[in-house]
Structure 1
Amino acid sequence: MDFDYDLFVIGGGSGGVRAARVAAAEGAKVGLAEEYRMGGTCVIRGCVPKKLMVFASEYREMFENARSYGWDVKDGDFHWPKFQSHLASELDRLEEIYRNLLRSSDVAVHDSRARLVDPHTIELADGDKKTAKHILIATGGYPVKPDLPNADLGITSNDIFNLKELPKSILIIGGGYIACEFACILNGMGVEVVQYYRGAQILRGFDDEGRGLVADLMREKGIDLRTGTNIVEMKRASDHNPDYEGGTSSDAAMIEDHEVITRKQTSDKTGPIWVKATNGTERVFDQVLFATGRSPNTQDMGLEEAGVKLGRRHEIIVDDYSQTSAPSIYAVGDVTNRVQLTPVAIREGMAFVETVFKGNPTKPDHELIPSAIFTQPEFGTIGLTEEEARDQEPIEVYCTSFRPMQTAFAGRPDRILMKLVVSRETRKVLGCHIVSPYAGEMIQLAGIAVKMGATKEDFDRTVAVHPTMSEEIVTMKTPMRTA
């Protein structure tokens, strides 16, 4: 059978674009469909704009620190529209780079939603059908809102970059990395931030000591972090109390003044949001941000009709080589709900091309993946947490926490954490956890050593770079505890 394409990719994010380009370089005829903007979640509404917001939010503390170092610096006002305009231009530039890379690779781009008709046929939004020998699904995921009345009043991480103005106050629901990152970002930009998380501690699944320190430092920086707390009810403040006419300070749970001049109408579809928490607290916020998880983007794609099995969270089920239950269809990235990280999606896309177009069956490596949470300070991690490791085998824990030189000089209470989890039998470093400015940069390099199977003695033999924060990772000689 003659096909229109050797490979058709559905999804223009990092994983799909990389697979399309590399397959085309091998001589394959490749088509790609993307319904929104090229670059996917990471470039357009995720990692890249978020990191630029992180940078923007850090300057307020920099101004404070600069005065301690002798600079005559005045605090300025953060101008959200100016930043947002520059951000939009940068995302436009990056999207064009993605398009140019596909163009130069001779990948046929279809700016359209695509769904499956059968294991070899794709239908575009205009009804045009394309056939392909192989199909790769790389449609990523999307943020979900809880099943709660009036949840549509809240926003998600997809919306935060497009706000016309920064809210004066915001309630963030969730305790994962997205919730914590945006809590720090918005706090740095001068927004009053309250964060509710139903669990006992934020950042579930990360090292307990590290996430505890991150929580403490978030509170020290002014974030009102409430664990063991969730939202039970929300509505427009004007719907809850028709006499409400504005004001969202922390003490303005609800205004009960019946002598207000301006009466808001219950039909008002904009304005502050009244929220009731599980502990009975009632508050009013300008915005509510739900960071309560992400779901694979598999809706209305014809997957099951084409023979592709889905899991209980609607993820595409794949084998070790990213092949679905339909032999001609593969899937990579967040849509498979394996490891939701952009570099992992890219690796999976590369492994797919090695397997299908180079005749070199390759499994994507999901072991010992370094990652970073861009809270303030950052949290970099690779390998087992202390809790996971001690359940697996006898361990030693090397750990230090101290005030870094730069902010200690400025009189700030900031602290950082360096931690190695070591096997007592093999001496291998099983996990490395860093809470510190630039922890993301540090864990990338430490990750190489851990991935190679370095022992604690390998770390010890490495000469320290002084004076740096990272030198502590090679100068911890005595275990803090054993388990």
Structure 2
Amino acid sequence: MSEFDYDLFVIGGGSGGVRAARVAAGETGAKVALAEADRYGGTCVIRGCVPKKLMVFASSYSGLPEEAAAYGWDMSLGAFDWDAFSSRMRNELDRLEGVYRNLLDGSGVKMFDARARLKDPHTIELSTGETVTAKHILVATGGRPVRPEMPNADLGIVSDDIFNLETLPKSILIIGGGYIACEFACILAGLGVEVTQYYRGAQILRGFDDEARGLIAESMRDLGVDLHTGTNIVEMSCFRDGDDLEDVSMDAPVEAAQYGMPEEDAPKDGPIKVKATNGRVRVFDQVLFATGRAPNTADMGLEEIGVSLRRGGAIEVDDYSQTAVPSVYAIGDVTDRVNLTPVAIREGMAFVETVFKGNPTPVDHDLIPSAVFTQPEMGTVGMTEEQARDREEVDVYCTSFRPMQSAFAEKTARVLMKLVVSKENRTVLGCHIVAPNAGEIIQLAGVAIKMGATKEDFDRTVAVHPTMSEEIVTMRKPVRTG
């Protein structure tokens, strides 16, 4: 009989933790338990990828009547019913959480609906008062959105809160320029919210290909997002009767004067007055902070037992997701390696291969395709042009054009197809696509690039015509070299 209660104890019921738990239990016969303090499914299912993508779908319908008219259809757009949509969305998330619970239960995993912390390298204390032991412990607690350290930051919301809004605001200020900020800017604009976005950097989507993110910024402005780069927030407060309106921009998305109210009656979730670094003072129904995320490692007993944390609280692990304490492993966003759901799942599978199947499997973080669900979407895999140029000489193949569907409707929207190619061996180092459904296209391009395809391999592939994606295999001459 084992000296431990469990062979594996997983802390965190998100995609990575659930996959590791059920595969370890179902495929190796290990005795496994899992603790989750909130809802099963984690960030992706409950407050991330899934509800966000549903909102992307919902927001995309707003432009259909105008485009349909060019194709001979007489369509009218009614009002968006947030109550109906959000209720249906919550029901879907409840269903998916049930699926996760059933997968664990069907694999024989013991579930604890409790917060867990580590007492020693093999002992877990639960918020229920129970204490259990395990031969191996896997931390998969994910991350959380953070607010900036400034007075009245609690007046704003973070991305987790978007999905639980009782009503949609008439106007919103989004702070940040990363993919979360840009995705919600497009979503909310598509749902009829007047969106303003401040980003302190020179261009949004830092870390992505410069040409691609430039087109995304242009497209967002065309969508109606009032995007200001080089701009940040310096003050925020509840708007109250008697506030100096002379400094409030008259083009503010919300007419400031309509919010006059006695100070004692001013609700915490009421209109918010914001002062920016450019000196402008404006009033918004809501402010969304999309300024970063932090690993969920606070008060878990990690450092006390010898687990090393990096700056920002991320758990330090080796190539096999093992921490400085041999019995403790960590995967997913809590390690702050590549914070994507499919990566967390891959890391969970590699952990099971290493620890329970006797097949040491390092995690492969190279050439991971990803998508940003703006309108249009951006799909990317491999190096940006800027990253590649810093490493070697490259040929850049790029084209930007109006796709057939929108061009026929006399819309100005453009798409971008781009390949970054090694000048030395002709290997495709990066692919960047800005287009409707770019996420679907980049998945297949990612297969070829992961296999080490050359530009000539792309050239030998016959185009599918007429499509947007055919341009990926028909670009013959580089637009830039060096």
TM-score by length of 2: 0.97
Counterparts of 1:300-379 in structure 2, within 5 Å, are 300-379=299-378
Q: What percent identity do the matched residue pairs reach? A: 71
Residue 169 of structure 1 pairs with residue 171 of structure 2? yes
Q: What CA deviation, in whole Å up to 9, does each residue of 1:397-439 have, x standing for no partner?
A: 0000000111111111100000000001110000000000000
Contact 1:22 1:353 in 2 (8 A): yes
2:46: which partner in 1?
44
1:116: which partner in 2?
118
Equivalent position SS for 1:58: helix
How far the C-alpha of 1:269 sits from its partner, in A, is 2.4
Q: What CA deviation, in whole Å up to 9, does each residue of 1:227-267 have, x standing for no partner?
A: 000000000011772999x999626574399xx7x645365
Contact 2:427 2:453 in 1 (8 A): yes
1:190: which partner in 2?
192
Contact 2:174 2:287 in 1 (8 A): yes
Equivalent position SS for 1:159: helix
1:447: which partner in 2?
446
1:23: which partner in 2?
24
Contact 1:168 1:248 in 2 (8 A): no
Q: What CA deviation, in whole Å up to 9, does each residue of 1:240-297 have, x standing for no partner?
A: 72999x999626574399xx7x645365423100000000000000000000000000
Contact 1:243 1:256 in 2 (8 A): no
Contact 1:234 1:276 in 2 (8 A): yes
Q: What CA deviation, in whole Å up to 9, does each residue of 1:8-50 have, x standing for no partner?
A: 0000000000000110021100000000100000000000000
How far the C-alpha of 1:212 sits from its partner, in A, is 0.3
Equivalent position SS for 2:240: helix
How far the C-alpha of 1:209 sits from its partner, in A, is 0.2
Equivalent position SS for 1:162: coil
1:106: which partner in 2?
108
CA distance in 1 between counterparts of 2:212 and 2:305 reads 45
Contact 2:145 2:158 in 1 (8 A): yes
Counterparts of 1:162-311 in structure 2, within 5 Å, are 162-238=164-240, 241=243, 250=252, 254-255=256-257, 263-265=262-264, 268-311=267-310
1:66: which partner in 2?
68
CA distance in 2 between counterparts of 1:120 and 1:387 reads 46
Query: Structure 1 residues 454, 240: CA separation in 2 closer, same or farther (over 3 Å shift)?
Result: farther
Query: Structure 1 residues 44, 159: CA separation in 2 closer, same or farther (over 3 Å shift)?
Result: same
**Residue type at the aligned position of 1:271:** G
Q: Structure 1, unaligned stretches of length 5 or more?
A: none
Query: Structure 1 residues 73, 254: CA separation in 2 closer, same or farther (over 3 Å shift)?
Result: closer
Contact 2:171 2:254 in 1 (8 A): no
How far the C-alpha of 1:313 sits from its partner, in A, is 1.0
Contact 2:59 2:187 in 1 (8 A): yes
CA distance in 2 between counterparts of 1:186 and 1:91 reads 20
**Residue type at the aligned position of 1:337:** D
Contact 2:249 2:280 in 1 (8 A): no
Contact 1:156 1:290 in 2 (8 A): yes
**Residue type at the aligned position of 2:10:** V
1:93: which partner in 2?
95
CA distance in 1 between counterparts of 2:268 and 2:366 reads 48
Query: Structure 1 residues 248, 369: CA separation in 2 closer, same or farther (over 3 Å shift)?
Result: farther
Contact 1:351 1:364 in 2 (8 A): yes
How far the C-alpha of 1:126 sits from its partner, in A, is 1.5
Residue 9 of structure 1 pairs with residue 10 of structure 2? yes
How far the C-alpha of 1:449 sits from its partner, in A, is 0.3
Q: What number of residue pairs does the alignment pair up?
A: 479
CA distance in 2 between counterparts of 1:383 and 1:239 reads 53
CA distance in 1 between counterparts of 2:75 and 2:83 reads 23
Contact 2:253 2:283 in 1 (8 A): no
- Residue range with higher mean Cα deviation, 268-277 or 292-301: 268-277
**Residue type at the aligned position of 1:125:** S
2:433: which partner in 1?
434
TM-score by length of 1: 0.97
How far the C-alpha of 1:6 sits from its partner, in A, is 0.1
Query: Structure 1 residues 248, 162: CA separation in 2 closer, same or farther (over 3 Å shift)?
Result: farther
Query: Structure 1 residues 143, 67: CA separation in 2 closer, same or farther (over 3 Å shift)?
Result: same
1:385: which partner in 2?
384
Q: Structure 2, unaligned stretches of length 5 or more?
A: none
